[in-house]
A and B are shown apart, each in its own frame.
Chain A
Amino acid sequence: MSETRPVVVEVHELRKSFGAHTVLDGVSLEVLRGETVVVLGGSGEGKSVFLKHVNGLLRPDHGSVSVLGCNVSELPEDEMVGLRRRVSYIFQQCALFDSLTVGENVAFPLREHTDLGDSDVARHVAVLLERVGLAGTETLAPSELSGGMRKRVALARGLALDPEVILYDEPTAGLDPLTGLAITALIGEVTRTTGATSLVVTHDIAVAAKLADRVAFLSSGRFTFTGTMAGAARQGGDVGRFVRAGGVYA
């Protein structure tokens, strides 16, 4: 891993509280171009809150977040559009628009940000769905899909604009182990074929083991460990216990 790669995501001393409840208490992280960093942490530790700051969906109380050279924490909402075209967020609950079909969901970013005509959009959508293994599902409603299929559609929608950065929030949560593995493999393949910079938030050790160039362990509002998975497994304390509990590094 050469150190000359540019920093794509830079989070500095990020703090966030909701009322009296401090969720993030000064976290810092840098992600290099093309790198996959996995943020590990228990339920309710603030992993989703962290990731939402990277996409500008939440505003920090203190600290700064910069993505692809844009200061996300200070950009007004309407000036964030240009950045958001280049960054995709795959939501924990998939967040498919349930009033739209699968095809319309995947077409949404294309219609919003490109001047493609109907037939071009349809062709793009077909290619995207095929890429995630769901060819021909355009006319289904999101409510007709299984959890794994929903993830795939969310991924197809997120890939529509060829993002440079992809943020994954719990990509395998709520899936059976086999489906989880398939989704993990798909993410790995996306990373290889697009070269996108990825930030993956999860409590699934198997996901981290497969995808992570580096991991950061979130606990009590701080990153208590940053380094490789193997390094994390050798750690004492919470980090080591958490990583070894996954069974991959027994």
Chain B
Amino acid sequence: MSIFGRLYDLTWRRVRHLGGVALLGRAVAARLVTPPWDGREIIRQLEAMGVRSTNLAAVIALFTGMVLALQTAYTLAAFGAKLYIGEVVGLSLIRELGPVLTALMVGGRVGSGITAELGSMTVSEQVEAMRSLGADPLRKLVAPRMLALLMGLPLLVVFADIAGIFGGLLISTWELGLTPGFYFSHVLRLLQFGDFLSGIGKSVFFAFAIGLIASYNGLSATGGADGVGKATTDTVVAVAITVLVLDFFLTKLFLAL
């Protein structure tokens, strides 16, 4: 095939992909807002993905907060930045790094898990079996995972925010000799409730995107175990890119509001 033919092919596949994701998004959204909801399954998923991600989210945020504090203090020392560590750590974590890092981590871990699970169900005909038994796989399989993500990710972000600010506190007091009271008063000085809302708001969009990409890749897996493996890798990459690109547009959007 000529290079143009290949390029056309690739582009067309991408476009069809996006179309498929969009259609799935609409179908899933319709099931999220209409009963019945399977409460037990949602809690099971929340437990499986949320609770077990907590430690990881906390460790990542803790060290990010510590690094932020260190970098601010040393690289911007000439501007007297040491006194503003609280503001820098608080604002950047809550507005940006908390939601984004948590989404990247959860997207990689939980998203790939969803793809692997749905993918192996797809290639072993379990999804078709469900349809054949008169049940709706989107309602039975995708909706509970999506709802668990939509509830779990924002909670994880709150958790990460707290851990990150605590990380900043550790460095400020141990390394830089500030008092905890001073640090906290600066964390809170510029921070507004809107900053917090914007961070949490972002995480809701991230959760939907992660769930959608992961489910789409799982449900469209073909072949055998290698097909599932490929779909899982695709999810990790696609989620990472989507979270970062989406973050840019959401940031612009929220700043304009």
Contacts and interface: CB of A to CB of B under 8 A. Distances in A.
Nearest to A167: B132
A84 B128 contact: no
Contact of A97 (B126, B131, B136): B126
A95 B126 contact: yes
A17 interface: no
A84 B124 contact: no
A113 interface: yes
Q: Which 4 A-B pairs have the closest CB atoms?
A: A95-B129, A95-B125, A84-B134, A89-B132
Interface string B117-130: 00001001110111
Interface in B85-124: 121, 124
B133 interface: yes
A95 B132 CA distance: 11
Contacts of B128: 52, 57, 89, 91, 95
Contact of B134 (A85, A95, A97): A85
Given A57-B131, A95-B128, A96-B129, 14 more contacts: A52-B128, A55-B132, A57-B128, A57-B132, A80-B134, A84-B131, A88-B132, A89-B129, A95-B125, A95-B126, A97-B121, A97-B129, A112-B134, A112-B135
Contacts of B131: 57, 77, 84
Interface of B: 121, 124-126, 128-136
A123 B192 CA distance: 60
B132 A84 contact: yes
A45 to B, nearest CB: 18
Contacts of B134: 80-82, 84-85, 109, 112-113
A157 B130 CA distance: 11
15 contacts: A52-B128, A77-B131, A81-B134, A82-B134, A84-B131, A84-B134, A88-B132, A89-B129, A93-B124, A93-B125, A95-B129, A97-B121, A97-B130, A98-B126, A112-B133
Interface string A111-131: 011000000000000000000
A165 to B, nearest CB: 12
Contacts of B129: 89, 91, 95-97
A98 B117 CA distance: 10
Nearest to A86: B134
Interface in A62-103: 77-78, 80-82, 84-85, 88-89, 91-93, 95-98
